[in-house]
Structure 1
Amino acid sequence: MKETDQVADATARLHRWKRPRLTAFARSRDGAAAIEFALLAIPYFMVVFAIIETFVAFAGEQLVSNAVDTMSRKMRTGQITPANTNATAFRTAFCNEIAILITCSSTEVATPSKLFIDVQNFSTFAAVPTTIPRTSTSTYADIKTSDFKYLPGGSGTINMVRAYYRWQIITDLIRPYISSVRPTDGSSSYFLIVATTAFQNEQY
C-alpha cells in the first residue's frame, strides 16, 4: 500500500471514530440542568426577593394604618387628651403599636427621620386637608414636614391624625416600581407609607 493510501485510510478511520463521539456529545444532557440553573438563578432570586419585600412593605403599611386607628380611637374616647399626653408620649405610644415590625429608637422618637406624625384639630371637617403635603408639585417629591404639629383637641372637637413612614427599599429590582418618593438629588428613593383618619371626639 502506498504511503498516500495509508494516510487516506488513517484519516478515514479517524473521521469514523470522531463522528459518533461528536454526535453523542451534542446529544448529551449531562449537567444541563446545572448550567440552566446557574444562568437563571440570579434573576429568579431577585424576583423572589422583590415579591417578599413588596409583601413586607404592604404589611408595614397596614401596621401603620392600624396604629393610626388605635391612637385615634383613644383620642376620640378621651383616653388621650392634651392634658395627659404630650407629643413625646404620643409618639412613644405610637411606636409601641408598630414595634412588631418597625422599631423606633429613642432618637427617632425625639427627632423623627423616618416616622412623622401630624395631629391637629379643626373647626369643621371641610377644613381637614385631603392631600399629602409635599415639598414641590412633583408626583414623587418628598413630604413636607415643616407644618406637622401635635395639637389635639378636647371633648367634642374635630381632629385629624396622619402618620408617614419612609420605608427603605432594599431590592433594586423593585425600587422603581413601588417607590413613591424619588429625590432629585440622587439620594435613595423609598416607599412612603401613609395613613390618615379624621374624627370628632366624643363628649367625654
Structure 2
Amino acid sequence: MNRLKAFLRNDDGVAAVEFALLIFPFLLFLFCILDMALMFFVDSALDSALHMAARDVRVGIAHSGNWDLDRFRSAVCGNMALAFGCEDELLITTTTMSDFSSMAFTSAVSGGVLSVTESFSPGSSGDYVMIQAFLPWSSLLAKIGANVNTLADGSYVLSAAAVFRNEPF
C-alpha cells in the first residue's frame, strides 16, 4: 500500500505529460491561424492584381492591344504575389453594359460547385465594365473537417471584382 501512495504522490514528469497533451491542439491552432493568414494575403493580392489589370482595360490599353481572356489572366497573375496555380485555376468573367441600372450580379457558387462562364470583353469607350475573378483555394481547415467551406470539395473561393467606366479612348 505504501508503494501505491508513493506512486500517486510522485510528480516527476508532470510537465512532460502536460506538454504531450497540449502540444497537438496548440500546433493545430497555430497552423490554422497561419493558413487563414495566407488565405487572406492571397485574397488581398488577388484584389490588388485585378485592379491593376483592370486599369489597363479602363484606359484602353486592352482594347487597342486586342487582349483576350488568356492575356488578361496573365496580366492579373503577373501582378499577383504568391500566385499559387493562378494561371491554371483563375476564372474571369466580364460584363459590359451601357449604364449601372442594367448591372446584374450572380453568384459564382451554385450547389457547392464553382460555375463561372469565362468571358473577356474590354468594352468600348465610355462603357461600364464589371470584371470578376475567382480563385479556388484549398485550406488546411477543410482537411481537418472544419465545415466552413463554400464548395463541395472542401475548398474556398477567393474572389475580387472591379466595376468602372471606361475612359474616352
Q: TM-score range by the shorter chain?
A: 0.7 to 0.9
Q: Which residue of 2 aligns with 1:118?
A: 93
1:67 Cα deviation (Å)? 1.2
- The TM-score with structure 1 as length reference comes to 0.73
- The TM-score with structure 2 as length reference comes to 0.87
Q: Which runs of 5 or more residues in structure 2 are unaligned?
A: none
Q: Which residue of 1 aligns with 2:140?
A: 170
Q: Is the 8 A contact 1:119 1:159 kept in 2?
A: yes
CA–CA distance in 2 between the matches of 1:105 and 1:133? 17
Secondary structure of residue in 2 paired with 1:52: helix
Q: How many residues align?
A: 168
Q: Deviations over 1:161-181 (max 9, x none)?
A: 10000001134347422x121
Q: Which runs of 5 or more residues in structure 1 are unaligned?
A: 1-17, 109-113
CA–CA distance in 2 between the matches of 1:143 and 1:197? 19
Q: Deviations over 1:107-128 (max 9, x none)?
A: x2xxxxx210112311221222
Secondary structure of residue in 2 paired with 1:155: coil
Structure 1 position 95 matched with structure 2 position 77: yes
Which of 134, 138, 143 is the equivalent residue of 2:114? 143
**Against the structure 1 CA distance between its residues 102 and 174, is the aligned structure 2 distance closer, same or farther, given a 3 Å change threshold?**
farther
RMSD in angstroms over aligned alpha carbons? 2.1
Structure 1 position 62 matched with structure 2 position 37: no
Secondary structure of residue in 1 paired with 2:115: coil
- In structure 2, give the amino acid aligned to 1:176: N
Q: Which residue of 2 aligns with 1:111?
A: none
Structure 1 position 81 matched with structure 2 position 63: yes
- Larger Rg, first or second structure (1 or 2): 1
Which of 33, 40, 45 is the equivalent residue of 1:51? 33
